[in-house]
Amino acid sequence: MISDAEAVLMHALWASSPMTTEQLLAQVGENQGWQEGTVKSLLNRLLNKGAISAEREGRRYLYSPVLTRDDYVTQQSTSLLDRLFGGRVAPLVAHFSEHRKLSARDKAQLRKLLRELGDE
């Protein structure tokens, strides 16, 4: 499972890769209040999880994502559904419809999705 801090680096790498530690620090470090050691620590965690790869280029490493953004979103959404709604989608939609007003566009997209899914 990718932590929120690790996800910040993953989003940067999905947007543009490969990147060096210095490039990642320049792109996300200041906004996050991170120093170089923090970025290196997060990169090592991501390497150990197999989420990124590192290719040596001279005295530095170039980091690239191995985990795709789509696979990450699937993992995160499945985890959310499992933890909060017993793996069921309907209670999630019901929760949002009770606590947040669904726009007409949201409702139309949900109706379209349900029609496409049919009675499986």
For 20-70, what is each residue's pLDDT tens digit?
A: 999 999 999 989 999 999 999 999 999 999 999 999 999 999 999 999 999
For residues 110 and 57, membership in a common domain is answered with no
pTM score:
0.79
For residues 76 and 54, membership in a common domain is answered with no
User: What pLDDT score does 62 carry?
Assistant: 98
Range of the domain at 110: 69-117
CATH number at residue 80: 1.10.4040
In single-letter form, the type of residue at position 117 comes to L
CA 52, CA 69: separation in Å to the nearest integer?
Answer: 12
For residues 59 and 92, membership in a common domain is answered with no
For residues 9 and 59, membership in a common domain is answered with yes
Portion of the chain with pLDDT greater than 70, in percent: 98
Please say whether the beta carbons of 62 and 54 come within 8 A.
yes
Q: How many helices (H) and strands (E) does the chain have?
A: 7, 2
Q: Is the pLDDT of residue 119 over 70?
A: no
